């Protein structure tokens, strides 16, 4: 009788241990709409990025520096400073800014990150390995008219079971000839959350 009790107790403990152990996400599905709001947690999400980029790109393209230009101005997208306490891929944000601006067809771009690769390719093409008629060289690159950079800030407020998360993303477009900021705008995002009791 005692042995049966020991076995039963062991089985119960095993089942509890298994149930309380770490779980893995083993099944998933694709969201039909990647633009649907993602409020799975209280951190920066792709929904925040999409909303911010959409509104800021619209503001930039409507500004006279772009809208009244006789030719598509040449723009260089550089850094977005992350002043939040979160680890955020700010390069992904600026990549989306560049892509959305290019989709409108009213802006051309030069790639700062590609400069080292371009310089290396110039060296190779001038090494004698490349046909003279097709090789490229220094002195023909197009200079940027504007630089776009910015900053991401956040404020978190928590009282009792309630929490608000506030983000502000600011972008500036600077004229390279004059150093004057010709366009600047920001997008604000505020999200509300409530703590929920977690049971076993």
**Count of residues in the chain:** 200
Helix (H, G, I), strand (E, B) or coil at 183: strand
Sort strands 108-109 and 74-82 into parallel, antiparallel or unpaired: parallel
CA nearest 200: which of 15, 9, 19? Answer: 19
| 40-99 pLDDT per residue, tens | 667 888 889 999 999 999 999 999 999 998 899 999 999 999 999 999 999 999 999 999
| 113-164 pLDDT per residue, tens | 888 899 899 999 989 899 988 988 888 889 999 999 999 999 999 888 889 9
What is the arithmetic mean of pLDDT over 10-25?
A: 59
Q: How confident is the model at residue 30 (pLDDT cuts 50, 70, 90)?
A: low
| 153-167 pLDDT per residue, tens | 999 998 888 899 999
Asked whether the predicted pLDDT for residue 104 surpasses 90, the reply is no
For 103-123, the three-class secondary structure string (H helix, E strand, C coil) is HCCCCEECCHHHHHHHHHHHH
- b/e string for 67-83 if b means 16 or more Cβ within 10 A? eeeeebbebbbeebebe
Q: Please, what are the domains in the chain? A: 42-112+143-194 (3.40.50.10610)
Cα separation, 150 vs 135, whole angstroms:
37
Positive or negative torsion for Cα 15, 19, 25, 28: positive
């Amino acid at each position: 009788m005692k042995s049966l009790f020991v076995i039963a107790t062991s089985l119960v403990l095993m089942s509890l241990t298994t149930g309380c152990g770490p779980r893995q996400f083993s099944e998933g599905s694709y969201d039909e709409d990647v633009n649907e709001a993602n409020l799975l947690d209280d951190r920066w999400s792709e929904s925040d990025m999409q909303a911010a980029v959409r509104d800021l790109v619209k503001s930039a393209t409507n500004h006279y520096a772009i809208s009244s230009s006789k030719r598509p101005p040449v723009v260089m997208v550089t850094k977005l400073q992350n002043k939040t306490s979160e680890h955020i891929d700010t390069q992904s944000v600026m990549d989306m800014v560049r892509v959305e601006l290019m989709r409108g067809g009213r802006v051309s771009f030069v790639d700062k990150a590609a400069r080292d690769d371009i310089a290396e390719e110039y060296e190779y093409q001038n090494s004698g390995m490349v046909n003279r008629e097709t090789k490229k060289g220094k002195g023909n690159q197009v200079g940027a008219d504007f630089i776009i950079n910015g900053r991401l800030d956040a404020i978190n407020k928590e009282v009792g079971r309630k929490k608000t998360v506030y983000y502000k993303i600011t972008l500036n477009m600077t004229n390279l000839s004059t150093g004057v900021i010709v366009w600047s705008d920001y997008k604000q995002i505020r999200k509300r959350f409530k703590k929920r009791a977690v049971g076993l």
